[in-house]
Amino acid sequence: MSRIASTSPPAGAVIPERHPKAPPIGSKIPSHFGHCFGCGELHPTGLHLVAYAGADANITSQFTVTQNHQGAPGLAHGGLLSLALDEALGKLMWLLRAPAVTARLETDFLKPVPIGTVLHISAQITGQVNRKVYMSAEGRLNSVDGVLAMRAAALYVIVPMNHFLESAPKEYLEEISKSPQLLTFVDPDFEINP
């Protein structure tokens, strides 16, 4: 049996410095893909999560839970809430300007999240060792100081941009290449710093 990756930064992990081209403090972090279910503005039933760059290795974000996001009647689906945490955590990579994938995500659900709730998620990088980036997040109900409803810890791994381009079906990429605004994740300035 293989060992499960930890979401806790190991000894020697450092908080990375913001990339010089990271979004300015307080600015909206762009969507990486217009049709992303988590942050894409073009997805008809997605979360439409919006995130803002913090002063350090952190972000704040929010989305409104709608009927499209429910599991049990009137309550947000737990898997969808995990998606919201994953999306917020992923936005942290804009501060490093490095593409990455989720390697491990641990989520604790503490309170139910009713539809109509504005979920406020704060996330921060807790350490980095080479290509491994450790993160944590928490979600609060209806305000940044609201009731703590969930929290997460994650491990992301920095990958080459080609990881995304080579994994997508060629026909799909050809079709959406006709609308370049959809391909915002194809950013030539993103770097890989192993």
CA–CA distance from 85 to each of 4, 29, 103, 165 (Å)? Answer: 20, 15, 14, 24
Q: How many domains does the chain have?
A: 1
The residue segments making up the domain with residue 112 are 28-183
Q: How confident is the model at residue 173 (pLDDT cuts 50, 70, 90)?
A: low
Residue 190 lies in a domain: no
Residue 44 lies in a domain: yes
pLDDT at 5 over 60: yes
Bridge partners for 125 per DSSP: 135
Here the tokens at position 17 are 């410095």
Residue 170 lies in a domain: yes
pLDDT tens digits along 43-100: 888 888 999 999 999 999 999 999 999 999 999 999 999 999 999 999 999 999 999 9
Residue 85's CB: how many other CB atoms inside 10 A? Answer: 29
Residue 188 lies in a domain: no
Residue 135 lies in a domain: yes
Per DSSP, the three-state class of 2 is: coil
Residue 8 lies in a domain: no
Residue 22 lies in a domain: no
Q: Residue 126's closest CA among 139, 137, 110?
A: 137
Q: Residue 65's closest CA among 128, 105, 121?
A: 121
Residue 94 lies in a domain: yes
**pTM of structure:** 0.87
59: CATH: 3.10.129.10
